[in-house]
Amino acid sequence: QVQLVESGGGSVQAGGSLRLSCVASRSISSFNFMGWYRQAPGKQRELVATITISGRTNYADSVKGRFTISRENAKNTVYMQMNSLKPEDTAVYYCYANDFRNVYWGQGTQVTVSS
């Protein structure tokens, strides 16, 4: 059973920054993709950013230039640095991992951005 544990969420004012962390219970080199989704109240869960085993990244248009996803294999951790936060970034952020056999999800961490 794979566990993904997120941390780093919180409340900030618009323009502020947060860094999310996702620690996996096994080597992240075993996952083809890892990344972050988010879900705002009353909305569907949406993709925010992904990173492949080779380090290739992909971002939603709404966060390009503001968010940066990275991975630290030695710590089995994926990060997402979020800068220039906007109120519309308010959501629960979920870490996910995909090894092409299964998809795993974390429990989520709340990010709240006030104007």
Q: Which residues pair with 111 in a beta bridge?
A: 10, 91
User: What does the alpha-carbon distance between residue 60 and residue 41 come to, in Å, rounded to a whole number?
Assistant: 19
Average pLDDT over residues 8-21: 98
Residue 100's pLDDT is 87
**Lookup: tokens for 47:** 């993709």
User: What does the alpha-carbon distance between residue 21 and residue 41 come to, in Å, rounded to a whole number?
Assistant: 22
Residue 65's pLDDT is 98
Residue 9 and residue 18 in contact, taking contact as beta carbons nearer than 8 Å: yes
Residue 3's pLDDT is 97
The string of pLDDT tens digits covering residues 58-108 is: 999 999 999 999 999 999 999 999 999 999 999 999 999 999 899 999 999
Residue 65 CA to its chain's centroid (Å): 15
Question: 111 pLDDT exceeds 90?
Answer: yes
Average pLDDT over residues 44-63: 97
Question: 15 pLDDT exceeds 90?
Answer: yes
Question: 50 pLDDT exceeds 90?
Answer: yes
Sign of CA dihedral 21, 65, 34, 57: negative
H/E element holding 16? none
Q: Which residues pair with 17 in a beta bridge?
A: none
Residue 42's pLDDT is 94
